[in-house]
A and B are shown apart, each in its own frame.
Chain A
Amino acid sequence: MASLKRLETEFPILDPDFQSFCALRGIFTVQDFLIRDLQSLVADAEQQPSSERFMQAINQVLYVIDGLHQPWLNGVDLMEDAQKNKHVLSTGCEGMDFLLRGGLRRGQVTELAGPSSSGKTQMQPRVLQEVMNSILCHSVYDIFSMFDVLHCLESKLKYQVMCRGDNDERLIIIDSISSLITPILGSSGSQGRALMVSAMSLLKKLAHEYNLAVLVTNHTVGGDGGIPKPALGESWKTLPHVRLLLSRDCGSNTYQVSLLKHPSIASGKAAKFIIND
């Protein structure tokens, strides 16, 4: 967050007088401005001898703050963006495609939860077959390396869009996100959950801005009456766009995937399919 001192070079109205006026009230950076009550600051500024300059300076800082949030979009812009950019990627599996009305949607994060040997990893090559571009693989062993990889990817995507107006990448797969998050989720302390929320926030940002589909896998834990439920707890449930639960009929090649949550399809539906090795 820029300090007022640094902003002075760009906006000379934020002169040392204004900076000391703000410093007396505990404001040194733009972030301090955000956390303050603007009206009382304006009332204070009007009491000062150089009130006009101070008001102009405050308006200047507000102008800088206006650049700190995402732009307001109109409903019509959203519709056009969805039609133009947010297409579906087929999963390569007819049953799943039918359930999801086409497949994985770009701009959304889909969670695939299932116990071990329920076909989660077998689903992956089918999805990848649809991706004609090069497949990049990164091994990460903890959540911080995942953040590193994602930040590098973000810079790369930003650069591509700047140069060519479009990016090549279509899909990010994280197998499995639960193995990165479970070690840091303790029952007390909010650090683990905060990292989980930040990671998903970053994934959703990348998905929306660069029109990627994101697929994350999760394991299951014992739930009510022995029926497995997805891991990672209550807070996790609010994070992905689409949540799927995969299960396998004992000893056969038949898999069942049920829809736990979707922004525009009723939950509770299921589909069965067979994967032949």
Chain B
Amino acid sequence: MLGRAQASRPSLSLPAPLHRIPLRAGNVVEIAGPSPSAKTQLLIQTAVSCILPKERNGVHYGGLGHSVLFVDLDCRFDVSRLVEMLRHRIVQVNGCSCTADDEEILKLSMRRFSYIRCYDSCELLAALKTLHHRLEKEKESNGIGGHLLMIDSIGAFHWVDRASTSLPLGGKNRKYLSLQNVLEVVVEDLRKLMSAHPMLVIVTKATIVGTTGNDFRRNYKRWPSAGTFDASSELEGLREPYFREYMPPIWQSFVTHRILVRGSDDHIAMPKSQENNTAYVSEWLLPRLNFLDKFVVRNAGVFLVS
């Protein structure tokens, strides 16, 4: 029966560092990290892999051909970065640059990308409530396809919702727009969406509440020596929880997979380019994997280093 269940929801092949664990529709992945730690770059890289077709006109692009729904709560998304990464992938496959075919594939892929901005919690709730109908209509016209829902980032309205005053509203049973209530409804609506339309949910979360940079350095037991990457010593440091979880338990139990990313202090000298790229490390917290992935962000995208 497990085999049947797994066959009905095949695992998606996603770019690093999400490739370590097989992810399938129905999973909720949380990518947490301080700012800046390339979380949005990971989302964009994953989006590129999803919207590219698997194959077209006999050329194998290696994408998933799924549509991506990007809910931007930070309102900092730069579409030119997505187009740049997508173009690099297409040119890499086709070998020559800027032909009419490339533009056609680019447009075809970009049509699979849907984007919405939300400036506060009410807009987010409204968007989620009406998303079901929108997807139903799409199903009628385009047929059943996989979806990827991305939210960047879930903690964007944390302070605003926390501070919203709880004035006593008239009438019993009335709920007010507080942090707990908003997240309860978000989780409920997402669960319903996932049961009606198979989708993988990837969410970024900025660690905005926690120890300051100074405290972090004091708690860090062994400082990695410059130029060498000693995985075991970095792992010792990471085991200390240095960022406080600020999302309420209802969200924490909704998340099925968790990755922590942060900037690493080692700079990677690229042989071809003159500059040093900042490296980032990612660690799978749920399920716990006992090694770190190191990656850099270049113009063409996110690349694993070690």
- Interface flag for B177 (CB, 8 Å): yes
| A contact residues around B35 at 8 Å (CB) | 234, 237-238, 261
Complex CA distance for A244 and B129, rounded to whole angstroms? 38
State which of B83, B123, B157 has its C-beta within 8 Å of the C-beta of A197.
Answer: B157
- Interface flag for A32 (CB, 8 Å): yes
**Is the pair B162, A76 in contact by a Cβ cutoff of 8 Å?**
no
**Per-residue 0/1 for A202-214: is the Cβ within 8 Å of any B Cβ (1 yes, 0 no)?**
1011001000000
**Is the pair A73, B125 in contact by a Cβ cutoff of 8 Å?**
no
State which of A32, A65, A229, A264 has its C-beta within 8 Å of the C-beta of B129.
Answer: A65
- Interface flag for B255 (CB, 8 Å): no
State which of A37, A79, A193 has its C-beta within 8 Å of the C-beta of B83.
Answer: A79
State which of A25, A26, A205, A224 has its C-beta within 8 Å of the C-beta of B119.
Answer: A205
Minimum distance in angstroms from B30 CB to a CB of chain A: 16
**Is the pair A68, B122 in contact by a Cβ cutoff of 8 Å?**
yes
Number of A-B pairs, beta carbon distance below 8 Å = 182
- Interface flag for B76 (CB, 8 Å): yes
Complex CA distance for A82 and B80, rounded to whole angstroms? 7
The number of residues on chain A lying at the interface, defined by a beta carbon within 8 Å of a beta carbon of chain B, is 61
Minimum distance in angstroms from B184 CB to a CB of chain A: 9
Complex CA distance for A31 and B297, rounded to whole angstroms? 41
**Is the pair A197, B172 in contact by a Cβ cutoff of 8 Å?**
no
Complex CA distance for A1 and B126, rounded to whole angstroms? 12
State which of B34, B80, B160, B170 has its C-beta within 8 Å of the C-beta of A234.
Answer: B34
Complex CA distance for A56 and B84, rounded to whole angstroms? 46
**Is the pair A65, B175 in contact by a Cβ cutoff of 8 Å?**
no
Residues facing A in B125-142 (CB within 8 A) are 125-127, 129-130, 133-134
Which of A117-125, A140-148, A266-274 forms part of the interface with chain B? A266-274
- Interface flag for A252 (CB, 8 Å): no
- Interface flag for A161 (CB, 8 Å): no
**Is the pair A238, B208 in contact by a Cβ cutoff of 8 Å?**
yes
Minimum distance in angstroms from A59 CB to a CB of chain B: 9
State which of B74, B79, B119 has its C-beta within 8 Å of the C-beta of A82.
Answer: B79
Question: A193-B159, A266-B278, A267-B36 given as contacts; is B116 within 8 A of A71 (CB)?
Answer: yes
User: Majority SS of interface residues in chain B?
Assistant: mixed
**From B39, which residue of chain A is reached at the shortest CB distance?**
A238
**From B211, which residue of chain A is reached at the shortest CB distance?**
A234
- Interface flag for A198 (CB, 8 Å): yes
**Is the pair A205, B36 in contact by a Cβ cutoff of 8 Å?**
no
| B contact residues around A37 at 8 Å (CB) | 185, 188
Residues facing A in B266-306 (CB within 8 A) are 275-278, 297-298
Interface centre among B124, B208, B210, B278 (most CB of A within 10 A): B208
State which of A190, A194, A204 has its C-beta within 8 Å of the C-beta of B76.
Answer: A204
Q: Would you give 5 A-B contacts (Cβ < 8 Å), ordered by A?
A: A34-B126, A75-B114, A197-B160, A202-B119, A238-B74
CB within 8 Å of B: which residues of A?
1, 23-28, 31-32, 34-39, 62, 65-66, 68-76, 78-79, 81-82, 108, 189-191, 193-194, 196-198, 201-202, 204-205, 208, 223-224, 229, 234-235, 237-238, 241, 260-261, 263-264, 266-269
* Leading 9 A-B pairs by shortest Cβ distance: A26-B173, A75-B110, A75-B113, A194-B163, A263-B78, A264-B81, A237-B35, A193-B159, A68-B126
CB within 8 Å of A: which residues of B?
34-36, 40, 51, 74-84, 107, 109-120, 122-127, 129-130, 133-134, 153, 155-157, 159-160, 162-164, 170-177, 181-182, 185, 188-189, 192, 206-210, 212-214, 217, 275-278, 297-298
Given A234-B208, A261-B36, 7 more pairs with CB closer than 8 A: A27-B174, A35-B182, A73-B114, A75-B111, A223-B213, A266-B297, A267-B278
